[in-house]
Structures are given as C-alpha cells and as structure tokens.
C-alpha cells in the first residue's frame, strides 16, 4: 500500500519468514510522479535493516529536484544506506538514457549480467557530452533548482487560491485533481485550446475517480507565463464548473 510503513513491515516479515527467497528487495520511487509526494526513505531503511532487505530507489523524478538537485537519497542523507539508486537522464537532466548508482560490487555485477548494458547500443557521444554538462550544471549551482521550486510554489499557491484541489505534493509536480475521467480530459483539452499544455492523467494510471491534470512547472517558466497559466485555469475551471 502506498507509503504505508506498517504494510511494508508486514510484507517484509511475511516474505523473509516464508523461507522461499534467498534475498528480498524493497523497491520504491524517490518522488512519486502522480502526486509529487516523497518516499519515506528513513522508515524504509529502518525496515530494510530489520529484515535484511536490499534497497532500491528509482529517483527519476527526484534527481535534479530534491536534495538541492542531488536527489531524494541525498535529501535524507542516506547515501550510505541505500543499496542502489536508478534514475533517468531524460527528465531534469534533459537528454536520454538512465543510470544505476550503487556499491562497487553491484556495479561490477551489473557490468557482466545486465542485458541492456551488454547487448544494447550505448549512448551516442553527443548525448553523453550533454548529460555530463547537465550534471555539472546541477553540481555547480542551485540557481535552476531554486527557480524550479519557486515556480512550483507559485503555481501551487495560485491554483489553490482559486479553489482547485492540488493534492499533497511535496515537490514542484502540481496535480490539479478534477476527479471524473471524462471531465478531466475535457478540462485538459480546453486548457490546451486556451494555450496551456498540461496533460490529463486518468485511470488506470491513477485510481478511479482521481483523474487529474498534471502540471510540470520548469525553471524556464517566467512569472508572466505562470500568471497566464493560472488565469487560463480560472477561466476554464469556471466554464466547466470545477471551481466557482
């Protein structure tokens, strides 16, 4: 169950006590992409220690965003505790590809056992150069990171002041929860016609009745752009009866 630590403890206990497995792994996102909430990594690490689990964090939405840009594991100071992190190079990094970071033994093992690593074409040099430059930018300065969070907070506060349900995001991911699937799709379509591109996400990607338009503000948005987006939300929200 989502971010339910009692449930995780129960499942970990069942799996380890069953005697069926040599090793049990707990896999979690760092940042959950649909609601923008952050995994309870300190509690997960505690449970992992208690039951000797391998820990695996997919930080696709965390790298560049949480931990001052260095990701969710770093945000909680758990670099020494998490066995491995994977992430994408296609989101904050802005290119393509992915990575695994972990202990040397694990990386050595992947180099001889990982099918995509062994049998697929590697990233082209141009992409690698762009990735390296982007990572260096994240290391050198928090300017873009700070701007991203500022923009996220600005958009969230604008939408919630209008009366939209923006859920409980802890990151710049800003869902606008409409509920009904058809209405959500119609809402997104009307936004687009008015100049705001924010896609609808409905069942089965999210639970039934929690359809939402997901907004991804970036560091490149200006206040003027965000004001325009908020004004468009107001117009379409009133037109479709989502807000009063």
Tell me the residue length of the chain: 244
- The residue within the footprint of ligand PLP, chosen from 37, 61, 138, 211 (CB under 6 A), is 61
Number of residues that bind ligand PLP (CB under 6 A): 8
Q: How far apart are alpha carbons 227 and 140 in whole angstroms?
A: 30
Distances (CA, A) of 152 to 146, 219, 235: 10, 9, 20
Output 166 or 216, the one with its CB closest to ligand PLP: 216
Catalytic residue flag (residue 33): yes
Under the binding rule (CB under 6 A), the answer on residue 58 touching ligand PLP is yes
Pick from 33, 184, 188, 200 the residue near ligand PLP by CB under 6 A.
Answer: 33
E-strand stretches of the chain: 25-29, 54-58, 84-88, 98-102, 174-179, 200-201, 211-215
Selecting among 11, 40, 68, 91, the annotated active-site residue is: 91
Both tokens assigned to 78: 């758990």
| CB 177, min distance to ligand PLP, A | 19
Instruction: Figure out which of the listed residues 12, 48, 60, 73 binds ligand PLP, where binding follows CB under 6 A.
Output: 60
Is the CB of residue 186 less than 8 Å from the CB of residue 240? yes
67 burial level (CB within 10 Å; 0-12, 13-18, 19+)? buried
201 near ligand PLP, judged by CB under 6 A: no
Question: Contact positions toward ligand PLP, by CB under 6 A?
Answer: 29, 33, 58, 60-61, 88, 90, 98
Catalytic residue positions?
A: 33, 61, 91
């Amino acid at each position: 169950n989502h971010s339910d630590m009692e449930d995780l403890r129960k499942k970990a206990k069942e799996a380890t006590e069953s005697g069926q497995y040599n090793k049990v792994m707990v896999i979690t996102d760092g940042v959950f992409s649909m609601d923008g909430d952050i995994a309870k990594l300190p509690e997960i690490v505690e449970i992992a220690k208690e039951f000797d689990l391998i820990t695996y964090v997919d930080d696709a939405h965390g790298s560049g965003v949480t931990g001052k840009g260095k990701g969710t594991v770093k945000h909680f100071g758990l670099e020494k505790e998490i066995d491995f992190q994977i992430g994408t190079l296609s989101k904050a990094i802005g290119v393509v590809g992915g990575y695994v970071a972990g202990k040397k033994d694990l990386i050595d093992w992947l180099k001889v056992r990982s099918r995509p690593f062994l049998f697929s074409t590697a990233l082209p040099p141009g992409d690698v150069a762009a990735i390296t430059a982007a990572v260096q930018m994240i290391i050198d300065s928090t300017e873009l990171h700070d701007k991203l969070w500022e923009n996220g907070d600005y958009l969230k506060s604008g939408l919630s002041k209008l009366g939209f349900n923006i859920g409980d995001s802890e990151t710049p991911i800003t869902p606008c929860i409409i509920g009904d699937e058809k209405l959500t799709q119609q809402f997104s379509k009307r936004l687009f016609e008015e100049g705001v591109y924010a896609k609808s996400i409905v069942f089965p990607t999210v639970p039934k009745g929690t359809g939402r338009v997901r907004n991804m503000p970036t560091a490149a948005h200006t206040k003027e752009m965000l004001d325009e987006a908020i004004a468009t939300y107001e117009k379409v929200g009133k037109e479709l009866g989502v807000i009063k």
